[in-house]
Structure 1
Amino acid sequence: MSKAEYIFNKINKTLEWFIIIIFALLVLDVLFQVISRYLLGTSFTWTEEFARFSLIWMTIIGAAYLNAKKEHLSMDFLYQKLSIKNKRKASIIIEIFIFLFALIIMVIGGFNLVYTTLHLNQLSGTLRIPLGYVYAILPLSGILIMYFSIYHISNFYSNKNIV
């Protein structure tokens, strides 16, 4: 196993555990909300906001994880009709577009969003945490997606069997 593969696998394993932990916290949070509402007769407002933020983080990190595994949603009817050589070219072009999207929208736009919300001292409604911390998952996930795109492109060039 090469060093690049080792790092790739380590990042993926870390993302798996991170997503599992966020999901477990989300389930516990919603369970606590249901129990407190029906058994204790009181409702805690912070549980809804925590669930929303957890879902945001889980979804955006999940997108990076699926990009690494190449299991994101795609329509590949035309792609399957291509020759091996053209599939490789199309795959590289797709990865370049994914890289550019992650760079422009997620990293640059995400850093701008984080900076703006932190600079304006915007706090979440109930938990009173800076929204920039919540939005920080966007550029982080974008950086991961960019890394995975570079990794996939390098595999297209180094291993002729990968399509």
Structure 2
Amino acid sequence: MNTSKLIFDKVNKTLEWFMITIFALLVLDVLFQVFSRYLMGTSFTWTEEFARFSLIWMTVLGAAYLNAKREHLSMDFLYQKLSLKNKRKASIIIEVFVFLFALIVMVIGGLNLVYTTLHLDQLSGTLRIPLGYVYAVLPFSGFLIMCFSVYHMANIYSNKNNI
């Protein structure tokens, strides 16, 4: 097994466990909210905000994870009709567009959003954490997607017989 495959697998496994942890915290948070509201007769306002931020992180990191696994949503009716040579070309073009989207929208746009919210000292309503920390998942996930796209392009280029 080559070094890039080992790094790829290690990053995926770490990302997987991080998302499992976020999901477990989300479930505990919602259960605590239900418990406190119906059994204790009080409601904690921070639980709703924590659940929202957890869901944001899970969704954006999930996009990177699915990109790594190449299990993202796609419509491949026309793609399946292509010859092997044209499938390889189409796959490279798709990965280039994914890379560019991640770079322009997620990394550059995400860094701009993080910088702006941190520079303006915007805090979340209840937890009072800087919103830049919440939005930091965008450029991080975009960077991961870019790395995964480069990895996939290298695999497409090196594997002449399959995609």
2:85 is the alignment partner of 1:85: yes
TM-score by length of structure 1 reads: 0.99
Q: Could you say which residue in structure 1 is the equivalent of 2:116?
A: 116
User: Quick one: distance in 2 between partners of 1:161 and 1:36?
Assistant: 58
Contact 1:103 1:146 in 2 (8 A): yes
User: Quick one: distance in 2 between partners of 1:91 and 1:156?
Assistant: 8
Q: Displacement of 1:58 after TM fit?
A: 0.3
Gapped runs of 5+ residues in structure 1? none
Q: Percent identity?
A: 82
Give a deviation string over 1:77-125, Cα, whole Å, max 9, x none.
0000000100000000000000000000000000000000000000000
TM-score by length of structure 2 reads: 0.99
2:106 is the alignment partner of 1:106: yes
Q: Could you say which residue in structure 2 is the equivalent of 1:143?
A: 143
Contact 1:155 1:162 in 2 (8 A): no
1:9-158 to 2 correspondences below 5 Å: 9-158=9-158
Gapped runs of 5+ residues in structure 2? none
- Give the number of equivalent residue pairs: 163
Give a deviation string over 1:16-63, Cα, whole Å, max 9, x none.
000100000000000000000000000000000000000000000000
User: Quick one: distance in 2 between partners of 1:97 and 1:59?
Assistant: 20
Contact 1:46 1:127 in 2 (8 A): yes
Following superposition, which runs of at least 4 residues in structure 1 exceed 2 angstroms of deviation?
Answer: none
User: Quick one: distance in 1 between partners of 2:52 and 2:60?
Assistant: 12
User: Quick one: distance in 1 between partners of 2:146 and 2:12?
Assistant: 14
User: Quick one: distance in 1 between partners of 2:162 and 2:121?
Assistant: 47
Q: Displacement of 1:160 after TM fit?
A: 1.4
Alignment-mate amino acid for residue 66 of structure 1: L
2:1 is the alignment partner of 1:5: no
Contact 1:117 1:132 in 2 (8 A): yes
Other structure's SS at 1:43 match: coil
Q: Displacement of 1:158 after TM fit?
A: 1.1
Other structure's SS at 1:150 match: helix
Alignment-mate amino acid for residue 162 of structure 1: N
Q: Displacement of 1:162 after TM fit?
A: 3.0
Contact 1:29 1:50 in 2 (8 A): yes
Q: Displacement of 1:161 after TM fit?
A: 2.8
